[in-house]
A and B are shown apart, each in its own frame.
Chain A
Amino acid sequence: MNSYENEARRSAPLVGERGERRTRGGRNLVGFPAVSTPTRNRADALDFLGVDALLSEEERMIRDTVRRFVRERVLPDAGGWFERGEFPRELVPELGKLGLLGMHIDGYGCAGASAVAYGLACMELEAGDTGVRSFVSVQGSLAMYSILRWGSEEHKREWLPPMAAGERIGCFGLTEPDSGSDPGSMRTTAKTSGGDWILDGTKMWITNGGIADVAVVWARAEDGIRGFLVPAGTPGFSARDIHGKMSLRASVTSELVFDGCRVPRDMMLPEARGLRGPLCCLDEARYGIAWGAAGAGRACYEAALAYAKERTQFGKPIASFQLTQRKLVEMLLATNRAALLALHVGRMKDEGRLAPEQVSLAKLANVRDALEVARSARSVLGANGISLEYPVIRHMNNLESVFTYEGTNEIHTLIIGQAITGLSAFQ
């Protein structure tokens, strides 16, 4: 190709031949200088690094199914749920039917999918709304996984199948008003009395609390921290929803109060002892969050890219300004890197060689990046960036919760810091 042709190609507008707005799967938005082979590969404006090609057909089908579910069942109403502070409870059986609840658990009515497939599902769900993804994380990775990992065979048989089907909802109570990042300081107690357990204390910020049929509750017993299954309606157990949240509004967050709450002896999770009980469940959920955050970031980037190409100021699309392009490119960089990182830790998890501090790295990096992307996307949308007509402000606010729950940014920094220095800086 001579240099004249090369020049002509380079200056061609970066849109499809018919000037159409690009959607996923087309291949007409170009970022590379032209090369001389006629059949050169082109980078996709969304999946720039071609991460898609690293997925198996089955993984793509699972991803596409969730993406479609989100497009049809989540996105049309997500803004309204957020505005009204409403969790779409009617979705729960549908999530169960697809196989999203306890998706990576084998048996007990669960789908038994791979870690990567579970991650892809989290990514697509959170590209819809963080509230829906949080429901799935808490139900599957926290409540169901606690039962699977630490429960008795009877616990598993009784609770897992209906929870997988979305007929029963679970929550996971670890955090307390005075014990957040430092769960070892929890004050909720479990004492034995006449063959039963008596729970006393308060749990705070508990996702699904007010709608749960069963709470997995962590409490201090004589021999250390223990987990208990407390069905809703147990005398002495009450839940009060937390209002006035500016984040994760399409999700129920509650305070759980245990006041001399008596539960039968066999409602204790027999295999869990010490903080390892709840912490190993958190690892499961954090893994999904690393994927989910990548989805939220991607949704913000997509919204910003589409908007910037359409919005005209000073006689040009705002996408044509260098400052905007830089924002878009930074977003692209972050979202593609996040997808690669999530997939990498996913493959490691499927191979059984993922360490908790590596999950910390993925959670920390992807949530932080997604929040940056969301803020930058918000600025690209100008005034529309604060409107629920667009998904960006919703994601931006939601990500503030994701930044805090399942280990704050700081706590994950300290976990990684300890892993590389061998020195704990927690206290």
Chain B
Amino acid sequence: MNITVCIKQVPDPNQPYKLSGTRLDREAVQPVLDPGDEFGVEAGLKLAEAHGGEVTVLSMGPAKAMEAMRRALSMGAHKGILVSDEALAGADAQATAQVLAAAIKRNPFDLVIAGTESADGSTGAVPAMIAELLGVPQATFAKQLEVKEGTLTIHRQTQEGYDVVECALPAVLTVTSGVNEPRYPTFKGIMQAKNKPVEQLSAADLGLSVAASQQVAAVNPAPARGQGEIFEDDGTGAARIADFLKNAKVI
């Protein structure tokens, strides 16, 4: 099974972010492999362990994204592709998807795995666009997954519970943070990572000249959360909390 896992390097989401204009200031905060993408890497490794085959990690980003790539390789991925090109700086979701799809298409693939949404851009749009560009089905929000005889079956996380979704391979799959427990890289893995092949590509190598079609007009902080409602329990507390939850459509 040939599995490609899309991974993104993001500014450490556990640290306060800094803006420079309408963009994140990437110099200010330590870059890390998007924690959400670790679930994708783990899912890919598990499948390759069960069915054989190789896991390729694919990233588009600045040259520094090689560190995130090495981390995924140290977890056990077999090889990497890093698309890095000044011409791609400022790419939006669509341009990113075009680049990633073009890189994926160069080799035969059975499954493309991505995160549900990135920790920084968070559009959640890239995987669907990749599926469209590759002309394959997508199975999203997987909290459980299985591959059997060319068919991918997932439990798709929903508001109420989950749907069981099935599609034929090749396909694009996005995984949630509940899908598995990503392994720690082992020291052996870390030491082997630097000898694993990483192909470095430019936009021209992919025969692409893409440009962002979106522009970020403004960036505003999310409104501070309003004060919660406080119920003093005078014997009717439980009923009032139940009403409150009903109104909020939680129960």
Contact = CB atoms under 8 A, between A and B. Distances in A.
A165 B52 CA distance: 24
Contacts of B71: 61
B84 to A, nearest CB: 17
A334 B34 CA distance: 34
B12 A113 contact: no
A264 interface: no
A55 to B, nearest CB: 13
A99 B186 contact: yes
B246 interface: no
Interface in B3-20: 12, 14-16, 18
A99 B30 CA distance: 26
Contacts of B188: 99, 111-112
B16 A58 contact: no
A25 B29 contact: yes
The interface residues of chain B, by DSSP majority, are classed as loop
A153 interface: no
B28 interface: yes
A26 B28 CA distance: 7
A69 B190 CA distance: 15
Interface in A1-41: 16-18, 20, 23-27
A61 B185 contact: yes
A99 B14 contact: no
A27 B186 contact: no
Contact of A68 (B29, B184, B187, B193): B184
Contacts of A23: 14-16
Contacts of A230: none
B74 interface: yes
A154 interface: no
A117 interface: yes
B186 A98 contact: yes
A290 B186 CA distance: 24
A62 B70 contact: no
* Residue of B16, B29, B193 with most partner-chain A CB within 10 A: B16
B229 to A, nearest CB: 28
B194 A97 contact: no
A223 interface: no
Contact of B187 (A16, A25, A111): A111
Given A27-B28, A61-B70, A61-B71, A111 B16 contact: no
B191 A113 contact: yes
Interface string B57-76: 00000000001001100100
A65 B33 CA distance: 13
A57 B190 CA distance: 10
Contacts of A17: 18
Contacts of A252: none
A202 to B, nearest CB: 37
The residue among B16, B67, B184, B190 with the most chain A CB atoms within 10 A of its own CB is B190
Given A23-B16, A26-B16, 8 more contacts: A23-B15, A57-B67, A58-B194, A65-B187, A65-B190, A98-B184, A99-B187, A111-B188
6 residue pairs, one from A and one from B, having the closest CB atoms? A99-B187, A25-B30, A111-B187, A20-B16, A61-B190, A99-B186
6 contacts: A18-B16, A27-B28, A58-B193, A61-B70, A65-B184, A99-B186
